[in-house]
């Protein structure tokens, strides 16, 4: 019994000694008096959620007009957020549209995407680099019958964002019938 008590005591002392030795901090350098001693220090910068685009919830009405006229209105804020923390933080946001239809979608109930125009306007931006509006004003509006550049960032690094409020212009066909026309404006970023 006497031996087992001392054996347990020595085992406990050995564990405490090993634990104490393992917990000692490492020494970076030992230097003589009047000399410089250096310690290497590191830290990490983490990336966020990557590159994303946020568009308004729909449906969004851009207004009312008559056959042969035009309808113009904004669709709300479109925002690109670049949280990749990249050395080269460039991106291109693109836009296109489907045809817009009402009722059964017959030719008289359809406004083709070739009659839907878009202009981005300028954006509110954060971060460094060059931000470029695809269509800075109404005079530079583009037809959405194919994929177009809505906005881009061509230089810079680190996190950044751009938010713009695009305008949609509908050239209403003379043969259009009355109704609420529905289609989709599609944005993407890469």
DSSP symbol at 182: B
How confident is residue 15, by pLDDT bands cut at 50, 70 and 90? very low
How confident is residue 18, by pLDDT bands cut at 50, 70 and 90? very low
- Contact between 64 and 71 (Cβ < 8 Å): yes
Burial code (b: 16+ CB inside 10 Å, e: under 16) for 103-139 equals eeeeeebbbbbebbbbbbbebebebebebebbbeeee
For residue 76, being part of any structural domain is answered with yes
β-strand 124-126 against 91-97: which pairing, if any? unpaired
For residue 38, being part of any structural domain is answered with no
pLDDT of residue 143: 98
Structure tokens at 149: 């550049």
Domains in the chain: how many in total? 1
Query: What is the length of the chain?
Result: 190
DSSP symbol at 109: G
pLDDT of residue 26: 59
133 or 25, greater pLDDT? 133
For residue 135, being part of any structural domain is answered with yes
**C-alpha–C-alpha distance, residues 160 and 128, integer Å:** 7
How confident is residue 187, by pLDDT bands cut at 50, 70 and 90? very high
Question: What is the radius of gyration, based on Cα positions, of the chain?
Answer: 32
For residue 30, being part of any structural domain is answered with no
Quote the domain boundaries for residue 99. Answer: 50-189
For residue 10, being part of any structural domain is answered with no
**C-alpha–C-alpha distance, residues 130 and 25, integer Å:** 47
For residue 5, being part of any structural domain is answered with no
Q: Is the dihedral of CA 153, 155, 161, 162 positive or negative?
A: negative
3-state secondary structure of 20: helix
DSSP symbol at 140: G
């Amino acid at each position: 019994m006497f031996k087992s008590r001392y054996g347990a005591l020595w085992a406990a002392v050995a564990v405490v000694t090993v634990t104490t030795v393992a917990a000692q901090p490492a020494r970076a350098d030992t230097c003589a008096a009047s000399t410089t001693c250096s310690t290497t220090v590191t830290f990490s910068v983490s990336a966020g959620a990557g590159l994303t685009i946020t568009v308004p919830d729909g449906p969004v009405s851009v207004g009312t007009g008559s056959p042969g006229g035009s309808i113009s209105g904004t669709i709300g804020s479109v925002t690109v957020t670049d949280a990749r923390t990249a050395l080269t933080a460039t991106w291109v946001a693109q836009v296109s549209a489907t045809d817009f239809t009402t009722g059964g979608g017959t030719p008289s109930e359809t406004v083709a995407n070739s009659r839907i125009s878009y202009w981005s306007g300028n954006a509110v931006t954060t971060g460094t680099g060059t931000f470029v509006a695809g269509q800075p004003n109404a005079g530079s509006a583009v037809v959405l019958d194919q994929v177009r550049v809505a906005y881009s960032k061509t230089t810079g690094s680190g996190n950044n964002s751009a938010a713009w409020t695009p305008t949609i212009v509908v050239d209403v066909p003379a043969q259009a019938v009355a109704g609420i026309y529905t289609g989709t404006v599609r944005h993407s970023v890469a």
